[in-house]
Copies of this chain bind each other. A is one copy, B any other.
Amino acid sequence: MEPQVRLRQIIFFFLLVLTVLEHSSSARILSISKPDRHDIAASARWLVSQNSWGVLSTLSIEHEGAPFGNVVSYSDGLPEKGNGIPYFYLTILDPTTRNALKDSRASFAISESPIGTCKRDPMDPTCSKLTLTGKLLQVDEGSKEEEVAKEALFTKHPEMMDWPKEHDFRFFKLEIINIFLINWYGGAKSITVDEYLRYKAIKVASSFL
């Protein structure tokens, strides 16, 4: 083989390895780039659709009403069909579930940081963050919405399908009352729940799964 040809082959191979490594290093391939920061609804929906986990806070029964944040996985819907509502798959063994069944007041916080698009400190206002405040409600068993929640969660988090049945996992949703979004300097952005929910479906590439 000609040395020049071999050289080209080696360069090609390394470029291939570089590409694979770059993509595997981020949690997912970002097919939807970060929206313009002036489009508040798009920014909020993008954060929700691109993330896969956050912190769900409820009022603690065990600790006399103290706020109890808990790391959980979630999903707002199937790729290309996200509805902006965070669905959860929670077991009654989890204090968060027991708290919510007693007092549904809750909030769900996510950061842009895990998406991999933040260039500065996670608390710098250019690194977006979102807190949805509302009610953590169990989705009615056997309802159409339970099917939506199940499909949303099991496609984004396929491991959930194997979680132990005897742990009494149930589908929950956050009924959103207030939206707190910071996606630039100047404090929290103004956005109503209606503006947020009516935002056109976010197209999340299948590579997201």
Contacts and interface: CB of A to CB of B under 8 A. Distances in A.
A62 B107 CA distance: 13
A97 interface: no
Interface string A91-130: 0010100000000011111110110000011111000010
A189 B56 CA distance: 20
A40 interface: no
A18 interface: yes
Contacts of A121: 73, 157, 159-160
A105 B52 contact: no
Interface in A1-26: 3-4, 6-7, 10-11, 14, 17-18, 21-22, 25-26
A150 to B, nearest CB: 16
Most buried by B among A25, A69, A120: A69
Interface of A: 3-4, 6-7, 10-11, 14, 17-18, 21-22, 25-26, 52-60, 62-73, 93, 95, 105-111, 113-114, 120-124, 129, 131, 133, 157, 159-160, 177-178, 180, 187
